[in-house]
């Protein structure tokens, strides 16, 4: 039996975008960079992941956006993990630019300065990563992978996962803001332990 023999499986056309046909979960973060004039730029990203198990982080961005060019020019960026109750910050960070090229909605987001890199971060988030640009890999359609080395890390006590922290209590106290592409969000506070096989090692 092949996939095409399953009457419940829909085979998409070659030009039909896969990620538009089902919901997939991803983190929702806000990337902070500095504009050429020194002003702050914030942009929400969901195509954003750790790159391996070392201190590297990457996100996908298009050269059509200021975030891409700011990171390339300045060699740095921050990654803020907003709380679910601060979802509006991510929405405001996606606001339109005016005729002068600025984003007025950013004035409503409280920010703090990063300590190691020259970039803003969102205030009162669960965590902030400060990254120095490692490389930009273009060629993923319209997008490019902006990869950075993490040079400073900050985690709020609300979300800090210590060795003695009970996962249920921690997630109830600090639910994870999750983006379901293309148009939904969720506050995840209930999870189950993954049934790793005996002897499993990453």
CB 176 within 8 A of CB 25: no
pLDDT, residue 59, reads 98
Which pLDDT band holds residue 126 (cuts at 50, 70, 90)? very high
For residues 28 and 83, give the distance between their C-alpha atoms in angstroms, rounded to a whole number. Answer: 10
Where is average pLDDT lowest: 55-59, 118-122, 195-199? 195-199
Q: What domains are there in the chain, each with its CATH number? A: 27-157 (2.30.110.10)
Quickly state the pLDDT bin for 163 (edges 50, 70, 90): confident
Strands, E assignment, the chain: 24-27, 29-34, 40-45, 48-50, 56-61, 76-81, 111-113, 120-122, 127-140, 143-155, 176-181, 184-188
- pLDDT band per the 50, 70, 90 thresholds, residue 123: very high
> Residue 145 has which token pair?
């992978």
Take residue 191 and report the two structure tokens written for it.
């999870």
Q: Tokens in use for 48?
A: 């954003």
CA distances in angstroms from 177 to 52, 87, 159, 162, 189, listed in the order given:
22, 8, 12, 20, 9
Q: Can you tell me the distance from the alpha carbon of 101 to that of 85, in angstroms, rounded to the nearest whole number? A: 29
29-52 pLDDT, tens digit per residue, is 999 999 999 999 999 999 999 999
* pLDDT tens column, 14-35: 999 999 999 999 999 999 999 9
């Amino acid at each position: 039996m092949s996939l095409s023999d399953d009457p419940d499986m829909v085979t998409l056309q070659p030009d039909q975008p896969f990620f538009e046909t089902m919901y997939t979960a991803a983190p929702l973060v806000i990337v902070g960079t500095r504009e050429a004039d020194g002003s702050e730029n914030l942009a929400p990203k969901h195509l954003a992941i750790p790159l391996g198990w070392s201190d590297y982080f990457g996100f996908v961005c298009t050269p059509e956006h200021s975030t891409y060019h700011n990171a390339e020019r300045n060699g740095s960026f921050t990654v803020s993990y907003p709380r679910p109750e601060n979802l509006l910050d991510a929405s405001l960070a996606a606001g339109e630019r005016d005729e002068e090229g600025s984003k007025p909605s950013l004035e409503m987001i409280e920010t703090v300065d990063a300590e190691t890199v020259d970039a803003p971060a969102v205030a009162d988030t669960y965590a902030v990563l400060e990254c120095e640009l490692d490389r930009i890999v273009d060629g993923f359609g319209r997008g490019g992978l902006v990869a950075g080395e993490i040079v400073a890390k900050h985690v709020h006590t609300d979300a800090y996962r210590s060795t003695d922290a009970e996962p249920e209590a921690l997630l109830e106290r600090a639910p994870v803001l999750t983006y379901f592409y293309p148009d939904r969000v969720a506050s995840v506070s209930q999870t189950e332990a993954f049934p790793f096989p005996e002897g499993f090692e990453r």
